[in-house]
Chain A
Amino acid sequence: MEVFVQQLVNGLTLGSIYGLIAIGYTMVFGIIGMVNFAHGDIFMLSAFIALIFFIFLTSWLGIGSIAIALLIVLVLAMILTSLWGWAVERIAYRPLRGSFRLAPLISAIGVSIFLSNFVQVVQGARNKSIPPMVNGGITLFEDNGYAVTLAYKQIIIMAATAVLLTIFWYVVQKTPLGRAQRACEQDRKMAALLGINVDRTISLTFVMGAALAAVAGTMYLLYYGVVSFSDGFVPGVKAFTAAVLGGIGSLPGAVLGGLIIGLVETLWSAYFSIEYKDVAAFSILAIVLIFMPSGILGRPEVEKV
């Protein structure tokens, strides 16, 4: 029982990170119908940006308070990763609108390979680790000498996910930008005729996705304290799984899917085998796509001839 509750807590934390990445996938897929394959690598890049800023703030500027440093790192990482997201969309995806269907996906794979090797070239191939930023936690209950703890960093991660999901959900549902996004999602040509700047709306969607990936990257660094250039691929695929599982195009669905994937992964590692945890996640992707393509909260796709 204690082990189960502890794994539940860990799974929800991991799932929150997946959920944050998944929102970027789901928004981009919703609006232009492409899998932004490079999103996982944007996440990895943001973790590196956060890492460098964190070292810069603590050892060069000597900021003592971890809370302030973390907040500054988060804001800076969000801004700079957004710039990357914007640049990637501008260079690699925008010229391809109206090209054949697989062109954006192939371009995205190219960006993904480029980004991970770019980071390898400029930052080296070794794992980069930093001392833990936030220590300690709350002991929820103790039984048979096994204490179930909720670490402070886990609280930060879950709270950040909840707050950001609320903010972004509000943006998509209630603001003019969100309305423009949903209009482009339904019919891009019609939206353009009605005076919506389609290119700008799509750019902003990428920027929002990248900003959320930056939060996920910072949280990943906070949680594990280690990052390497190849860390984008597997979390990226798992987050995509989460987006599909939750129903592509739905923001709460993405976070819900992320939480489920996180739980499955941790519980699978705890009770079955840790070696096959990625196999479990990848199998969920295949099973969901084959048997339940519209996901939990998504709308069924209508085939237009």
Chain B
Amino acid sequence: MRFERRERPSRALSVLAPLGAIVAALLVAGVLIAIAGANPLTAYALILDGAFGSRLGFSETLTRTTPLILTGLAAAVAFRARVWNIGGEGQFYLGALAVAAIGMVPALAGLPSPLAILVCAAAGAAAGMVLLLVPLGLRLRFGVDEVVTTLLLNFVAVLFVSLMIEGPMKDPLAFGWPQSVPIPDNAILPTLMDRTRLHAGLLIALALAVAVWWVQARSVFGLGARAAGLSPRAAAFAGVPLARTLLLVGCLSGGLAGLAGAVEVMGVKAYVTTDLSPNYGYSGIVIAMLANLNPLGVIAAALFSAVMFVGADSMSRALSIPSYIADVTVALSLLTMLVAIFLTQYRIRR
């Protein structure tokens, strides 16, 4: 058996690949559910019902989709240029912390609401950028592989958040819980549905997905970034300023991950804790790959992950299947997606 590269990737297969990958992941996870003593079909029906079956479940699913779109975009733009930003988790937390810090400035409460939101969002994005520019700078200057440095900085970032919310930014009214002082009301994003947590951050995330798609597909910068990823030497020869392109990609990627944290604070929590993110940063990597690095596909992939996470929570209450099954399924779908992408590019010959 050997593999032969297709002359051009099959169109039909490229569309079917993510679906096939998700079905394969659900099949394997189904076996795990069956081993645990439950009917997989019942479990999946309960997951769908938990995610879409009620007004509350539906709004929670979309609330959860919001940060996942942003961290998914952050990974997608970086990976497209072969910048291995695995630091989405840390950038998310620093973005969230930056909003909480700005929230403590008394002048913020005096601003009109749209302006206050804009200031907070900019601060969150800037914090995420800074955290990615450090390892990216180390790569460009010293040749340090950014995979390991961004991974290690995730731990540093969460410890820094812990330091700040137990120290200078601790809320004195939180009964001793380590959490930051809540941001003022005028920096809170408006809700989209009454009596739910769904907030306008979803619209921001959707708009940014379209914007990032446009930049990647239609702008000179997007072309340069893709070229830098496919072949740095050829790109440099064609006149793409490599270092500048990679730094801009880093700003975009870190900024999006930081904004995810900022939006989560402005839309859902109003304050920061060290369990603000249930691995949103790492899930972003899976989402980007499931979307085949396409910014519009990120929306669908983020929705899939959110359905699994929200649905599995309510399913596990009914069936006593650990809700970790959602993490297992999402992680599996990354591996099956990699194989599916391979099959769109190669055919198997005997």
To the question of whether A and B form a pair in one complex, the answer is no
Residues of A within 8 A of B (CB): none
Residues of B within 8 A of A (CB): none
